[in-house]
Structure formats: structure tokens, C-alpha cells
Amino acid sequence: VSVPFADRIVTEITCHAIGARWRFPEVRTVIDIGGQDSKVIRIGDDGRVEDFAMNDKCAAGTGRFLEVMAKSLETSIDQLADLSARSSNELHITSTCTVFAESEVVALVARGTPKEDIIRGLHSSVADRVYGMVRRLRCKDPYVM
């Protein structure tokens, strides 16, 4: 069997852009919060990747970060969204490292901080990291996650 494009190398970033444009032709920004990294991709009017940013040096701001925090809070990752939605207080997780954030979460639990507020703070922390990449790249609407 001969595959004419078998030697072609296409990056994950390019694949994200092509896939997003195929499904949503008007998209200009792709946000991917994966298990191991988070990435933001700015797509030009012609469909080509103009720029991208990745959070790949640290687990904070990724799905793995949320998995570790869920375990620390003795809950499942599937329950995080519902618990976060029940929060009535804005809480800031100041640590940007997963290990330090986990220590911060343990301290908050020890102080009696409601689990819902902690989870909302964790979600805000991830959102802030991604928003920083979006701002840095000067991304455009519409967005796809």
C-alpha cells in the first residue's frame, strides 16, 4: 500500500488548527487544556497557524493538575464542576506550581474552607493561566475549546 503523504510531518499545533477549521471554519483561536499541557493557538484568516503558546513546563493549568487536586480533596474529577458551581466565595490559589498548590489546598482544608470554594479557586487558577496565553497572543474571536 502506498500512502503519498506518509513522510509528511505535521505538528500537533497544526493538526489542532486544521481540525478546528474543518469543524468551525470561522474559528480564529483554539484553546486546548489537556492532561499534560495547555495550549492556545491563534489562526489567521487564511487558516494557517499565526502563533501559539503552551504551558508545557509545569502541570499547573492542565487536566493533570485538576486530577491531583481532586485527589487531595478526596473527590472525583467528575464532581469538580458541580462542586465549583455551588461556591459562593471567590478564592485565589496563589501557588502556580502543582506541588505548592496542593500544599495550599491542604492548608485551606485544615482551616475549614469549603471544598466548593477551593475548587472554584482551582478552576479560576487554570482559567487565569490560559487567559494569560490568550492575552499574550492577542487572540481573536471566535474561540473553540
Domains and CATH numbers, the chain: 12-58 (no CATH), 63-129 (3.30.420.40)
Buried b (16+ CB within 10 A) or exposed e, 3-21: eeeeeeeeeebeebbeebb
Q: What is the pLDDT of residue 95?
A: 80
Contact, 36 vs 139, CB < 8 A? no
pTM flag (> 0.85): no
Prior bond of 142 cis (ω within 30°): yes
CA distance 93 to 101: 7
What size, in residues, is the chain? 145
For 128, other C-beta atoms within 10 Å of its C-beta total 13
Q: How confident is the model at residue 73, as a pLDDT?
A: 94
What cell does 26 get? 470561522
pLDDT, position 1:
76
Q: Give the pLDDT score at 97.
A: 79
Ranges of residues in the chain with a pLDDT under 70 are 56-57, 59-60
- Vertex 71, ends 68 and 76: CA angle to 5°? 110
Q: What is the pLDDT of residue 35?
A: 83
pLDDT given at position 6:
80
pLDDT confidence of residue 99: 82
> What does the pLDDT read at residue 57?
66
C-alpha 135/C-alpha 93 separation (Å) is 20
Q: Cα-Cα-Cα-Cα dihedral of 43, 45, 50, 53, to 10°?
A: -20
Q: Are 49 and 13 in contact (CB under 8 A)?
A: yes
